[in-house]
Structure 1
Amino acid sequence: MPFTVCTWNINSVRLREGLVARLLEEEAPDILCLQECKSPVEKIPSFGALGYSHMIARGQKGYNGVAILSKTPIREVSALDHADLGHARHVSAQTEDGVVIHNYYVPAGGDVPDREVNEKFGQKLDYLTAMRDAFRAERPERSILVGDLNIAPREDDVWSHKQLLKVVSHTPVEVAQLGETQEAGAWVDVTRRNIPEGKLYSWWSYRAKDWDAADKGRRLDHIWASPDIAGAAHGSRVLRAARGWEKPSDHAPVFATFDL
C-alpha cells in the first residue's frame, strides 16, 4: 500500500497549530514529522479530529522538539540523545507494516563555522558524528529518515554555492560530515533521486523582505530511505506555497510517497 511521508520544521507547533491543520486537511499525508516544536509533549496540540490520533514525540519548553503524527497506529522505537546534548532532537517510530521512521532535528550550528570559537558549531559536528557511528553500528533496514538536517549538501541545494561556502549549513566540513553519516547507513536521498537536477530549496530566511522574489533558499530538510525500500519512493516534492502562508515557518514541507 502506498503511503506518503511529510517532514516540516514548524518553528513552534503551538504558534502554528492552524498551519499544521491546514497542511493535514489539504495534503493529508499518512505520516507528518515535525521539528522545532518548541513545546513540552503534553502541550503539543491534538490533531485527532483530523484523523491523526497517533503521536510519538519528544519535547522541550521553548526549544527543539520532534513529533511524529500518524493516521494509523505507530509504536515508539527510540529517542536518541546523540552527543549527549540533552536536547529533544530525535524520535523514531515503527508503522504497522514494519517501516521505521526516524525524525531528526540536527543542531543549526550557530553563525561561525569554527568549533574553537563557536560551541554550537562543535555540537553540530559532534551530533553528526554520533549519528554516523550509530548507523555504522546498526545498518538501517526498511527505514526512512526525515527531518531538518540543517545542511544543504549539493551545489544546487543553495542559491549560491560560491557565496555560501563559508556560511554555516553549506561549509565543506559540514557537507563532508553529512556525507559520512549518509554513507554509514547507506541512506538514499530520495528527494534528489526523484528530482535529480536543478535548484531545490526548503528554507528561506525571514530576513528577506520578499523571500519569493529574492529566492535565496537552501535545501535543509531531507527524506532519506534505506536501500531496500528507496526504490519504492516517488512523487517527491517541496510545498513551496506553504512558505507564503500567513505567519509561516521559514521552512516548507517536503513530501515523498512510498509504494510498499
Structure 2
Amino acid sequence: MLTTRAHVRLLGPDDRDEFLALAAEDPVVNVFADYRARVTNLEPRGLGGERWGRFAGDRLVAGCHMGANLVPVQCTADDVTCFAEPALARVRSTATIVGPHPVVAALWQAVGERWTAPREMRWRQPHLQIDRDPDVPADPEVRQTTPADLARLYPACVAMYTEEVGVSPETAGGKDLYRARVQQLIARGWSFARFDDEGRVIFKAEVACATPYAAQVQGVYVHPDRRGEGLAVGGMAAVVALVRERIAPTVSLYVNEWNAPARAAYERVGFTETTRLSTLMF
C-alpha cells in the first residue's frame, strides 16, 4: 500500500477493525463513514472510492472517506491537510465534502485553489441528535413505507431532493439510479411517511445510514400545501420513536443554519445541537 512521509496511506480490509475503533470515538458524527466501513469491509470496489488513514507510528489517528462524498473522520485541521493530495486526485468524482466545520475549512484552504469551485457552500450546519424518547407525541399516522407506496412516495422524494440540493436527482440520466435508491430504503425499513386521504405524501423522512450506535435521518419533507401546520413536529417524533425502537438508539441529522422552521421543529421534538458541520456541493 502507498505510504508517504506524512504517514498517510490507503486503507484496506485489514484495517477495518482499527478504522471502526477510530469512528467509534464519535460514533454519531461519524455514522456515515462507520456504516460504509461495516457494509464494505473497506474493499475499494464496495466503497465506490477509497479510504485513507493517517498514522502516528502504527496507530491510526485520522481517516478520510473519499468517494462521491468526501468525509473526514476524527481529523484535526492538521490531519486533514495530509489528505489534500489524494483528495485532489478525486476532484472530478466528488459531489460533496461534508464534515465538522473547522476540518472542512482547513481542507478547503489546502485544495481550493486547485479544485473545481463549489456550486454551493453551507458552512455552519447544526448537527443535532437525540438518544431518548421525543418530547412531544408521535404522529400515529406516520409509518414505515412498503413497496406498494413507491409510486406515491417517489415524486415526494424527487421534490424534496430538488428543493434541498437545487438540482433534480433525475438530471443526467439519474432517474433509474435514484428510484433504485428509494426502493432500497423502503426495503430496509428506512423510509417513513404519512399519506393524506388522497394518497399524497404530506410528511416523509428516511434513514440515510445506520450503525449499532446511531442512525442519520435525511430527506425530511412536508408537502408545500401543508406547511405551517406542525406536521414536521409530530412526524419527526414518530420517526425518532420508530428508529430508536427498530434501528439504532441515537437519531441524528444536520440542518441548514438558515432553516429556522425546521430547527424549531427539531428542538420541540427534543434534538440538541452537538457541533457544526460544513457541506461543500459540486
TM-score, length of structure 1 as denominator length: 0.34
Structure with greater helix share of residues: 2
Larger radius of gyration: 2
Greater relative contact order (CA < 8 Å, ≥ 6 in sequence): 2
